[in-house]
Structure formats: C-alpha cells, structure tokens
Structure 1
Amino acid sequence: MLEVLKTLGGGLRSVAPVIGILLVFQFLILRAPLENWREIAIGLVLTVVGLVIFLKGLEVGLTPLGEAASEALAHRGSLFLVVLFGLALGYGATLAEPSLLILAERVEDLTGGALRSTLFVQAVALGVALGLGVGAARIVLGVETTPFFIPALALALVLTFFAPERYTGLAFDAALATTGPVTVPLTIALGSGLALALGRGDVLIYGFGLVAFAALGTILCVLALGIFLGDPAGG
C-alpha cells in the first residue's frame, strides 16, 4: 500500500506544475471560469492514474525486456541481427508513441486530409527505425557519434532548402514527438544494454546518442517526404 501511495505521489508531482500553471492563467490572468470543470477534474485524475500505471509498466516490464534483448543480441555477435533489431524496435515503438499519434491527427486536420496521418506516422516510424539501426551498428562497431552526427545534420540543413516550408517545422516537431515515454526508455535500454554487454569502455560515449539518431532519422524522412509530396496545403 505504501509503495502504491508513493508511486501515485510521484505521478502527481509530475503533472502538478503543468496543472498549476494552466489554472493560474485561467483564473488569475484570463479570469475565465471553467464551464466543464467536472469533466476536466475527472480527466486530470485519469491522467495521473494513467501516467502512474504506464510508467510502472515501463519500469517493471518493457524496459527490462529491452535490456535483456539487447544483451542477448550482443552475445550473439551478429551485426545483422543487431541492426535488424534496431530497425524493428524503432519502427514498432514509434507506432505506439501517443504524442506522435496526436500530432499526426492534428496535421491531417490542418491540411484538410492532404497529408494523411497514416502516411505521416509511417514516414516518422521509418525515420526512427533507420536512426536506431544506424545507431545500434555504431555501438557494435565501436564508432563514436561525431562522425555520424555531423553529416546527418548537414544533410538535414540541405534538405530544408528543398522541402516545402510547412514541412520544416513539422519535421522538427515530429522528431520531438518521437522522444516520448515509449521510444526513449526502449532506446536507452538498447544503447546502454549493447554498450555494457559488448564491454565498451565509456558507456556515456557508446551507450547514449540513440535518441538523437532517432530524432535525426525522423527529420530527414519527413523532409524527404515533403520534397516528394510537395506542399500539403497546395500553396
């Protein structure tokens, strides 16, 4: 019981600052009443409870599973299997990312259906998959991050000049949307698990950076999608 209360307290502390800021602006600055305050209160309670259950599930289930799989792959010593696992993990985790699904639905609404949410999510999932695949290969090969980051950043900068303007901000927002509560724990588990199992010297150098790889892959794929499709608003 004590553990449950402690977990609930942690979840409440996580969302309390956001709730407090919104309420202060609503009542003290905007001075506007909440007409549907009952529904909002119920929603806030569900948010706290859902967050606690979700984070606890990651802690005891999903993250340990990712670490165990990474360690087993490292012991197999197969670069192909590691890259394949990174691709599959990145793709599957992205499809389950709630923040990305919300962004995709909003994009479809604002473009009048010109950019379908399904297509957008698939492009982002492909970007994350490629990013994790390359990042996992880097750990196995024992290569530092800089030789990968600089060319990828340069390519992203070049693509922004060719992609429609509306896709530039969308690409970077999509990259942030993928760094959510599903993708990040699994990505960190993959990177640190591989680095530790393979005996890389400095885990902070070789075990981290996969989240950035996923973000860069997303940016590149969304920009490429924009170049291929053109302006979703047709202007």
Structure 2
Amino acid sequence: MEILLDLAKTLLSTIGDILPILLLLVGFQFLVLRKPLPHARHTIIGFIYVLLGLALFLSGLEKALFPIGKLMAAQLSDPMLVFGTPLVPEHPGWWNYGWIYLFAFLIGFATTIAEPSLLAVALKAQEVSRGTVEPFHLRIAVALGVAVGITLGTFRIVTGHNLVYYIVAGYLVVLVQTFYAPRMIIPLAYDSGGVTTSTVTVPLVAALGLGLSATIPGRNPLLDGFGLIAFASLFPMISVMGYAQLAAWMAKRAQKPLQDARQQDGTSR
C-alpha cells in the first residue's frame, strides 16, 4: 500500500512537471500554427504513456537505483574490506581502494552499453553515414570512455584532488584532438559525451559518488560527491575521437604497402 501511495505522489508530481510542456505544444499548435492536432488520439495515448513511464522510472530511482549505488559504495569502502581492520589508518593510500576503481570501471561500461539514448544515436549515425559508422564499435568506444572517466572520478574522490584540474586537462585534450581527428567524427564525438548522461547512467553514477564521499574519511558529499557525471560526459569525447584517429591511422598503414608497390611498379616501367 505504501508503494502505491508513493507512486501516486510521484505521478501527481510528474503531471505538474509535464503540464508546462503540454501547454506549450498545444498553445503553439492551436494559437500560432492554427492547425488541428494530427493523430490526436495517438498523441493523447502517448502522453499518458510518458506520464506513467516517468512516474514508474522516478519511483524506481528512489526505491532501487539510488539505494543500490550508495550501498555498493559503502560496502566497497568499508574499512574491513579495504584495510582488513575496523579502523581507518591515519593516512590511507589511494591504492587501497582497488575494488572501488574496478567497480566504477565496470558499472560505467555496463550502464553505458545499456543506455537507450546512446543506442538511438549510434543507429542514426549508421543510417546517416551509410554504414561507415558501426553502432557496436561506437557504443564500445563510448562505454570505454565513460568507464575510464568514472574510474578517474572515483580516484579524485578518494584522493580529494581539485576537480578543476581534471576537467581543464580533459578539455585541453579534447581541444587538441579536435584539430587532428577526422572531421566526420567530431560532431558525433561531442554528442556522444551528452547522450551518456541519461536515464540509466546518471542515477547509479550520482549515487556512487555521493556514497563514496559520505563513507571515505575526510570527504564532503557536497564538495566531493558531485562531479562524476562531468567525467562521464568528458571522456567519451576523447575515446570516440581517439577511436576514429586510430582507425584512420590503421587504414592509412594498410594502404601504404599498396602505394609503395604501385610506386615501385611505376619506377620499374
């Protein structure tokens, strides 16, 4: 019964959030465009599906994803697991938290592979590029970028380093890559950094960061708990452009023997 009451409250809150969007779309349709709503029945049913889906999703976040992320962070940073004693040393080393880094890498990779928005972008990229961009390869490149980014973000939480240094250094790398990466991949790489921070990745990553900062001694959840999502947005841009640069280099290297053979054949003639 309590779950149903919570779901009802979430549904009412979701209706309040969706209502301005609905009024905006309907207002433009009837007052600006002055045209009837096409497929009105399907549109109304679709909005009902959106309301129910969002309400269920938000309830799932509160009941499952956020608690799981915090629980895993608390368990992986438990002194008995990390140090073998119930007491935390005065100056713990960053290398003691290896299980946290491994979990961060795997959860970043797994949630990104399951991200619906990334799959949609990958399929559209394949369609527009006429098969040049392979969706699976793109998803793997993005997932590796997110995994490395979240791992580095957890390292920052453990060590307490300033977030600014990591973000500035990362965007400097992106800036340099932008000048040398194939032009076709640059917009896709930038978009790939945005689609990773969506429905599946954000809840678990945010809960992981807040859980770590709350359990690791000397960390402040407000100062150290946030920022992992920034890593999850930044590093896919690096990995996708890096993947494109590597593919271009390998293709060029494969063509070089053919070019040399043609040159030798032309010289012999």
What's the TM-score, normalizing by structure 2? 0.79
Q: Could you list the per-position Cα deviations for residues 37-73 of structure 1 after superposition, in whole angstroms to 9, with x for gaps in the alignment? A: 2112111111110111111111101110110000111
SS of the residue corresponding to residue 114 of structure 1 reads: coil
Matches for 1:211-230 after TM superposition, within 5 Å: 211-230=229-248
Q: Which residue of 2 aligns with 1:137?
A: 155
Contact preservation (8 Å) 2:160, 2:219: no
Give the total of aligned pairs: 230
> Displacement of 1:228 after TM fit?
2.9
- Asked if 1:41 corresponds to 2:44, the answer is yes
Identity value in percent = 37
Q: Is residue 72 of structure 1 aligned with residue 75 of structure 2?
A: yes
1:112 aligns with 2:130: yes
Q: Quote the RMSD (CA, aligned, Å).
A: 1.8
d(CA) in 2 for partners of 1:151 and 1:50?
39
For the residues of structure 1 that align with 2:5 and 2:204, how far apart are their CA atoms? 28
TM-score, normalised to structure 1, is 0.90
Q: Give the alignment partner of residue 58 of structure 1, picking from 58, 61, 70.
A: 61
State whether residues 6 and 59 of structure 2, in contact with CA within 8 Å, keep that contact through their aligned partners in structure 1.
no
Give the structure 1 partner of residue 173 of structure 2. 155
- Once the two structures are TM-superposed, the CA of residue 6 in structure 1 deviates from its matched residue by 1.8
Are 1:144 and 1:205, in contact at CA under 8 Å, matched by a contact in 2? no
Which deviations, in whole Å up to 9, do the C-alpha atoms of 1:188-225 show, x marking residues without a partner?
11111111101234322222111001111111111112
Matched residues in 1 for 2:5 and 2:153: separation?
Answer: 40
| Structure 1 CA distance for aligned equivalents of residues 43 and 215 of structure 2 | 47
Segments of structure 2 that go 5 or more residues without pairing to the other structure are: 83-95, 249-269
Deviations 1:106-147 (A, max 9, x none): 212111121122221111111111100111112122222123
Check 1:65–1:2 CA distance in 2 against 1; reply closer, same or farther (3 A cut): closer
Deviation at 1:170, TM superposition (A): 1.7
Check 1:16–1:171 CA distance in 2 against 1; reply closer, same or farther (3 A cut): farther
Superposition deviation, residue 7 in structure 1: 1.4
CA–CA distance in structure 2, aligned partners of residues 30 and 220 of structure 1: 42
One-letter amino acid matched to 1:109: E
Structure 1 unmatched runs, 5+: 231-235
CA 24–225 in structure 1, closer or farther in 2 if over 3 Å, else same: farther
Partner of 1:124: 142
Q: Does 1:209 align with 2:227?
A: yes
Secondary structure of 2:184's aligned partner: helix
State the match for 2:254 in structure 1: none
Do residues 9 (structure 1) and 44 (structure 2) align? no
Q: Contact conserved, 2:145 with 2:236, CA < 8 A, in 1?
A: yes
How big is the shift at 1:32?
3.4
Q: Which residue identity is paired with 1:163?
A: A
Higher relative contact order (CA 8 A, sep 6+): 1
- Equivalent residue letter for 2:149: G
Q: 1:3 to 1:192 in 2, by over 3 A?
A: closer
- Note if contact 1:97-1:181 (Cα within 8 Å) is conserved in structure 2: yes
Secondary structure of the 2:110 match is helix
CA deviation after TM superposition for structure 1 residue 2, in Å: 4.7
